[in-house]
Structure 1
Amino acid sequence: MNVFLTYTVLGLVIGASYAIAASGLVLTYATTRIFNVAHGATAMVMAFVYWELADNQGLSTWLSVLIVVFGVAPLFGALLERWVIRRVADAGVGVTLVVTCAVLVGLIGAAEKIWPPGVHQVQQFFAGHGVTVGTVRITGNELLTVALAVVVGAVLWAFLTFTRLGVAMRAAVDDKELLALHGGRPNLMSSIAWAMGSALAALAGILLVSSEPSELNYISLTLLVVNSYAAAMAGRLTSLPRTFVGALVLGLLNAYASGYLWTGPGWTGFREAIPAIFLLLMLLLMPQAQLRVGRLAGVAGVRTPEMRRVAVASALVLLAVVFGNAVLSEVNVNRMALGLCFAILALSLVPLTGFSGYVSLAQFSFFGVGALTVAKMHSSAPTAVLAGAVLAAVAGILVALPSLRLQGLYLALSTIAFAQIMDTMVFQNPSLGGFGGSLTTKRLDMFGYRFTSDKAYALLAAAVFCVLGAAVIVLRKGRYGRVLIALRDSPAACATLGLNPRTARVAVFAGSAAVAGLGGGLYAGLQNQVGSTNFQFFNSLPLLLIVVCAGVTSVSGALLGGMLLMALNSYPSTQAYLFLILAVAAVGLGKQPNGITGWLFSLRDNPLGARLGLGSAGIARGIATRSAASQSSASGGAVTVGASGENAEVEA
């Protein structure tokens, strides 16, 4: 009985921390309809700020808490809303997820620069104080955590339900113009919501690091708060009472699993995956999303090239690799080959996200399935790489089938849950066929030729990318590509015409996963040794950010995205500049959804580009598009040109 009580107390404390963090997520989503992926990173940074004030600068503990929770964090949240979130407030779910991913990556990079790895520890609140229930000792820190969770939940619920300001904050989501007509200030309401959400993230981060004093870690602390996603989904991102109950249930499940499940690597992975499993269950219990009528407002995509230009562009890519092999050092040739493998991974997002509009945060998991297959088969035959692609496609189907009833944000969160389950229960678990530590791999042997040198492997990766890129463009030009675009723009209209959106979603997930798995198999051969740390689900966040900012609607964007991801991993000294470029590109997605390559291709559609002969046809098409949109608007129609509408095309 005492053991049960001990784990119950532990679970309630963990759940209370999750409840505070989840309350901040619910607050910002319920008042602005933007899901803040960077909520955990905000908690991490504010925990470091608290350590800086309390331990490094010598301020008192309580004064440090007040400064962080009521000063630094709200100011950060308000500035974030003013200069970043407000610019993409009317954009789609994919854009807002990418922008908050950019904030997450930027906060982690800033924390690593400001507080280099070292000893960063905080002390418990009310150390040495507590109460005893039976034989169980409940510390003062644990009592404080539970009490604050109850107070925060009650105060927030009362604030949003009964106060004029709280009602106005919720009204800003439904109709900003109507609120403004009644004297409200929608932008101010949004700033207050993000300030309060950041304050709650800071409080949760401080309580989490003080509950079990240990060295502050950038990634692990961020991921602890990510577990609060599951609690927020228990309340469907709208109900604070249900969120509070869901957080407590999640905390108790974690505690009981730690105390009563058998020890061993398999069960350890299961315990670590409990928040992800809980999140997936909550998502599957959500009501089925209704088919959306009408198209998304946006801009036309970049042009689809003729196959002759695709062949020329492919030849130029291969010539660039040959030139790189001649002038680059051996280390940089290896990095170039790595960038091409990442480009294949990025290419897997073009049909899935660029054409279909489905946001996936599990691509690195599919990448890992391909690498794991090659490593387990320990073969140099091409069949090993192909087998990895097939198994990755099966994994893609497993992701698509349970989530057929989900759309938008909920679909993206389901892919996060799948990726975390794969990371903890498979990749890190040798008893279930995972990597365990690390596994050696062999270079590919094709037609009697072994690609042992990095130069030959870079050419191989470039050739595979060009072939797959051409296949993606052919797909976009064909009937199935038009079906994907149409399903994204208006699923209801497609269903009326007899198209099956479920079959199309499963197929595009399977194909995308297969491409990622093929890239993972090539990556495994290049590295000669791979392990579970290479395929952590957290890596999918910067991947999505980079590819969307580079241009997820084009093959050129995938190539640029792969090289940027390689640079981010291979050149630490350039990370600050890359983060700056990505931050600017992410904020600019509201105006140019096609990313950096979209800005480059748009040169063909401006007067200077016309004088230079860069695209009179593009200008004519742009005028025709705007004219069609104007006619639709004048006739009262609800249809506008979508970001991936019938005019959305791909540049080689």
Structure 2
Amino acid sequence: MEQFLTFGIVGLSTAAIYAVVGSGLVLTYVTTGVFNFAHGAAGMLAAFAYWQLTAGWGWPVPVALAVVLLVLAPAFGAAVERVLLRPVQALGEAERLVMTVALLSGLIAAARWIWDPNVARPLPTFFADRKPFHIGPATVTWHQAVTMLVAVAVAAGLWFLLNRTRTGAEMRATVDDRALVRLNGGDPARSGRAAWILGTQLAAVGGILIAPTVALDAAQLSLLIVSAYTAAVFGRLRSLPLTFGGAVVVGCLESYLTGYLPQNAYLPGLRLAAPALLLFAALLVFPHRRLRGRDRRLGRVPLPTMRGTAVFAAATVLLGAVLASVLDEPDLITVAPIFSLGVVALSYVPLAGYAGQISLCQLSVAGIGAVVWAHLGADGSPWALAAAVAVSAAAGALIAVPALRLSGVYLALGTAAFAVVLDRWIFTLPTFELLGVRVALFEQGSVEVAGPSLFGRALDGEAELTVFAAVCLALATLGVAVLRRGRFGRRLIALRDSEAAYATLGGNLLAAKVAVFALAAGIAGLGGALYGMQQRSITPEQFNLVAGLPLFLVAVIGGLGAVGNGLFAGTALVAPNALLGLAPWTQNLIALLPGLAGMGLGHNPDGIVPMFRRRWEPLAGDGIVLPALLCTLAVAWLLRLAGAIDGWTLFCGSLIVALVFRALAEARHARTVAPEPDVPVEWWGVRRAWRPGDEEVLARGVAGG
């Protein structure tokens, strides 16, 4: 009984922290309509700042707390609301979600840059010099008591603010109708700013309270928010009392699993994954109200031409061949993942771009494909690659079945929980048997990966694997383009536009979601297998949730509806490391870039790939300048093969020549083509030529009307 009470006290103290952090999350969502995935990262940053002031610089604890909670946290919350969230407030839910994911990734990278993760930073508990006291047979430390008192004070204060003050009423009304708030003399911007400031302060309180009991690590502290997510989902993202109740469930579950979970090789990871499993279960079991702020900015998904896609696919293979022929093996090891990671990023196009299904676990699914290939493809058999794709597709279908009743933020939370379960439990399991089949994952923390054998030839060199990955990316790009132009692609666009309308008109939601999740997971599994071949050895850390965030952000930045997004995303992820990774300090800058780019999404919500396509179209259609450019690049390639120039000269020279020829093509195009007048939609096909995408635009306009 004494042990049971002791673990109960520990669970309640942990639950108090989750309740404080979760209440800040609910407050921000209820008052602004934005679900802040970076809420835990804000608490992490506050914990590091508190350590720096106290342990690093020797400031007194009261002064450090005042500076962090009353100066730094409010300033950070106000800056995030003003600089990042306000510009995308008028956009859809997906854009606001991506912005907070970008902030999460950026804050983790920034913290690792400022505070070396290889240096231990212990933080003492509050009142560590005082003896603990007893409640019956249970021992309670003063830190635990302070934590629970703070949680009670936060609950009372928030209830009074939201239900008994004009400021609270104005904050809650802002998310429902900003215009009506203005008519009644309120200020929506002021309400949003107040919510972000208070929410950030609560995250800071939670981060400071939990930091002494865990390792002061940027990723670990940021992902403790998964437990707070679970508490918030218990409260259906709007009820503070239910959020506190959910926090108690999560905290006590973690504590009692620590004390009573049987000791064997298969269950240690279960305790770490328990909050994510509980989050997934809560998402499925609890009824959810219609998400606030579900207004979505639905742009037209580009309809790729098969001729243009075929040319792009050929250019992808040619790029792989050029890189394989001009780069040495050490450089290829750095650059070659352009194509394998590009395949993983391409999986977002049918899933998020066409069907509108948000997923944060694509890189984790790629890890499944990499593991399957590592164990089944040790001899290079091509069928093992098909098995990797099939097993990954099955995992995607498994995710899709419960995802049928989830959308938007809830779907993002569910896929993030799935990724965390893989990270913390499944990928840590030793070898086991399932239905008589031996299943092996990362047995010793890493697994060796071999290359494939095609037509009796083993592809084990970096150059050969680079070309093979480029061919796979080209074929996957062609397949996604065919999908977009086919009947199933049009069905996915209709599913994205309105699930209710899709079902009303006879569409099968379950079949469509299972099919698109399985397809996207299969593509990701192929990319994971290719990535494993190029890396030779893989570890679970390469496929965890934090590692997958930059890939998600770069895919969104590129433009989720563009079939060329795979090559763009792979290049955007790998090229900075190849160009800037010469000095150790640049690694931190490289890790920060995806987050910074994601935060700029509000300035170009349609993506970069469509913008690139518009800018390079004059060159692609010029029958004189384009052949001249190709000949020039071919000569430069031959000079590199002959040893007359080095790789950097080839790269820089080719880039400069391409820009010069593009400018020349634009000038020629401007002289020969008159600007087209803006023709009303009812005159399309009469006053201007009918275009391939006009039929879909008209159909969606009629459906929307």
TM-score in terms of structure 2 length: 0.84
Deviation of the 1:445 alpha carbon = 0.5
**For 1:539-574, what per-residue CA distance to the aligned partner results, in whole angstroms no more than 9, with x for missing partners?**
222221111012222122221111222346663655
Structure 2 partner of 1:336: 335
Structure 1 partner of 2:660: none
Partner-residue secondary structure (3-state), 2:403? coil
Contact 2:21 2:202 in 1 (8 A): yes
Q: Aligned pair in 2 of structure 1 residues 618, 255: CA closer, same or farther (>3 Å)?
A: farther
Structure 2 partner of 1:127: 128
**For 1:500-527, what per-residue CA distance to the aligned partner results, in whole angstroms no more than 9, with x for missing partners?**
1221111000000001111111222222
Structure 2 partner of 1:33: 33
Q: Aligned pair in 2 of structure 1 residues 240, 439: CA closer, same or farther (>3 Å)?
A: same
Deviation of the 1:537 alpha carbon = 2.5
Deviation of the 1:115 alpha carbon = 1.7
Residues 503-512 or 93-102, more deviating: 93-102
Residue 189 of structure 1 aligns to which amino acid in structure 2?
S
Partner-residue secondary structure (3-state), 1:613? helix
Partner-residue secondary structure (3-state), 2:406? coil
Structure 1 partner of 2:637: none
Separation in 2, partners of 1:581, 1:556: 21
Structure 1 partner of 2:141: 139
Residues 159-168 or 489-498, more deviating: 489-498
Residues 501-510 or 373-382, more deviating: 373-382
**For 1:311-337, what per-residue CA distance to the aligned partner results, in whole angstroms no more than 9, with x for missing partners?**
222222222222222322212212222
Partner-residue secondary structure (3-state), 1:132? strand
Separation in 1, partners of 2:532, 2:539: 9
Aligned positions of 1:242-257 closer than 5 A = 242-257=242-257
Deviation of the 1:575 alpha carbon = 5.1
Contact 1:38 1:104 in 2 (8 A): yes
**For 1:140-163, what per-residue CA distance to the aligned partner results, in whole angstroms no more than 9, with x for missing partners?**
101000110111112111211111
Residue 517 of structure 1 aligns to which amino acid in structure 2?
G
Kindly report the root-mean-square deviation, in angstroms, between the aligned alpha carbons of the 2 structures. 2.8
Contact 1:367 1:535 in 2 (8 A): yes
Separation in 2, partners of 1:549, 1:67: 36
- In the alignment, does 2:451 pair up with 1:434? no
Q: Aligned pair in 2 of structure 1 residues 259, 582: CA closer, same or farther (>3 Å)?
A: closer
Contact 2:298 2:497 in 1 (8 A): no
Aligned positions of 1:386-465 closer than 5 A = 386-432=386-432, 433-436=440-443, 437-465=445-473
Separation in 2, partners of 1:561, 1:314: 15
Contact 1:8 1:255 in 2 (8 A): yes
Structure 2 partner of 1:481: 489
Contact 1:101 1:542 in 2 (8 A): no
Residue 505 of structure 1 aligns to which amino acid in structure 2?
K
> Which of 560, 576, 586 is matched with 2:598 structurally?
586
- In the alignment, does 2:611 pair up with 1:599? yes
Contact 2:453 2:459 in 1 (8 A): yes
Contact 2:92 2:295 in 1 (8 A): no
TM-score in terms of structure 1 length: 0.91
Partner-residue secondary structure (3-state), 1:59? coil
Residue 349 of structure 2 aligns to which amino acid in structure 1?
V
- In the alignment, does 2:316 pair up with 1:317? yes
Residue 128 of structure 2 aligns to which amino acid in structure 1?
A
Structure 1 partner of 2:477: 469
Separation in 2, partners of 1:618, 1:105: 45
Separation in 2, partners of 1:360, 1:123: 38
- In the alignment, does 2:545 pair up with 1:510? no
Structure 2 partner of 1:184: 186
Separation in 2, partners of 1:626, 1:200: 54
Partner-residue secondary structure (3-state), 2:237? coil
Q: Aligned pair in 2 of structure 1 residues 577, 532: CA closer, same or farther (>3 Å)?
A: closer
Structure 2 partner of 1:558: 566
Structure 2 partner of 1:45: 45
Contact 1:26 1:240 in 2 (8 A): yes
Partner-residue secondary structure (3-state), 1:137? strand
Q: Aligned pair in 2 of structure 1 residues 510, 618: CA closer, same or farther (>3 Å)?
A: farther
**For 1:281-308, what per-residue CA distance to the aligned partner results, in whole angstroms no more than 9, with x for missing partners?**
110123267799x994343344x33222
Q: Aligned pair in 2 of structure 1 residues 398, 61: CA closer, same or farther (>3 Å)?
A: same
Separation in 2, partners of 1:288, 1:159: 25
> Which of 528, 532, 542 is matched with 1:524 structurally?
532
Residues 240-249 or 49-58, more deviating: 49-58
Aligned positions of 1:23-422 closer than 5 A = 23-117=23-117, 118-129=119-130, 130-210=132-212, 212=213, 215-287=215-287, 296-302=296-302, 304-377=303-376, 378-422=378-422
Structure 2 partner of 1:638: none
Contact 1:299 1:592 in 2 (8 A): no
Structure 2 partner of 1:633: none
Q: Aligned pair in 2 of structure 1 residues 597, 503: CA closer, same or farther (>3 Å)?
A: same
Contact 1:289 1:405 in 2 (8 A): no
Residues 429-438 or 191-200, more deviating: 429-438
Deviation of the 1:407 alpha carbon = 1.2
Structure 1 partner of 2:669: 613
Separation in 2, partners of 1:581, 1:623: 41
Separation in 2, partners of 1:460, 1:624: 48
Separation in 1, partners of 2:458, 2:674: 45
Unmatched 5+ residue regions in structure 2? 433-439, 619-662, 685-695
Alignment: residue pair count? 629
Residues 529-538 or 378-387, more deviating: 529-538
Q: Aligned pair in 2 of structure 1 residues 512, 615: CA closer, same or farther (>3 Å)?
A: farther
**For 1:424-481, what per-residue CA distance to the aligned partner results, in whole angstroms no more than 9, with x for missing partners?**
2211111454313111121111111111110010000000000010010011011111
Residue 47 of structure 2 aligns to which amino acid in structure 1?
A
Deviation of the 1:46 alpha carbon = 0.9
